[in-house]
Amino acid sequence: MPEIASVALVGAGPGDPELLTVKALRHLQEADVVVYDRLVSRAVLDLIPQGVQRICAGKACGKHLLSQDEINALLVRLAKAGRRVCRLKGGDPFVFGRGSEEALHLAAHGIPFEVVPGITAASGCLAAAGIPLTHRGMATGVRLITGHARGDGELEIDWRALADPSTTLVVYMALAALERFRDGLIGAGLSPTTPAIAVASGTLPEQVLCRTTLAELPAAVMAAGLAAPVMVAVGAVVALGDILGRASMAEEEGHVRQNLG
């Protein structure tokens, strides 16, 4: 029997290949097979050497090439066959990436694994827009939340806990839940004029930014025609993007749409 190989659960970052870590790039170059998700950018996939097997395990809302159980089984099967596996995930594998579920499955089957963190969308995409997650006197904390519940179920959200004007709220996979987040946050007391931004294809040349307010967020995103995946940030720090974003090379090279109504 072949010797069991290891699995690397690797964060591919938000899209820009230059935001990969050195360790992530090494695992890409040393792997026998790369199992990648839909959110991994084409620019990152282009770094995989020729001859390395690629397996797409992409998941979109309601559409799965492989179920999570099938992905878990695939990783175990490949490792037991002696294949060095790079499990490549957009962003960070432990931030809404199901990396911990896969790690638990690998551990349960005695498969050695390593977790390679990646730059998550909250920091990568907002930095590209010139927006800090925290800023003295404006935001003393950050909350990361998903706009998509497991199994397409209903999210259970404590709106009062989220409607904190001293916190930056970042919503992953937010496109289908914009109206619910707007209504829930305003209903819990957050000002309708709180700055908000929606980011599509963050850090990539085709990046689209939609600057608006919490009250106008759903209408502004619809008018801008943003397509999933979309990340949303709400909070006072978003206003800094009007200054820092316009002064940065990242935004000059990207594509910006605004709605400040």
Active site residue ranges: 37, 59
CA angle (120, 122, 123) in 5-degree steps: 75
Q: What is the DSSP string of 4-53?
A: P--EEEEE-BSS-GGGS-HHHHHHHHH-SEEEE-TTS-HHHHTTSPTT-E
| 85, burial (CB in 10 Å: exposed 0-12, middle 13-18, buried 19+) | buried
Tokens 């790039």 correspond to 25
Q: Examine residue 218 and say whether the peptide bond preceding it is cis (omega within 30 degrees of 0).
A: no
Question: What is the spatial distance between Cα 45 and Cα 88, in angstroms, rounded to a whole number?
Answer: 9
CA 108 to chain CA mean position, Å: 27
Torsion of CA 3, 6, 7, 12, to 10 degrees: -130
Nearest to 176 by CA among 232, 102, 251: 232
Nearest to 146 by CA among 186, 98, 105: 98
Question: What is the spatial distance between Cα 105 and Cα 73, in angstroms, rounded to a whole number?
Answer: 8
CA 72 to chain CA mean position, Å: 20
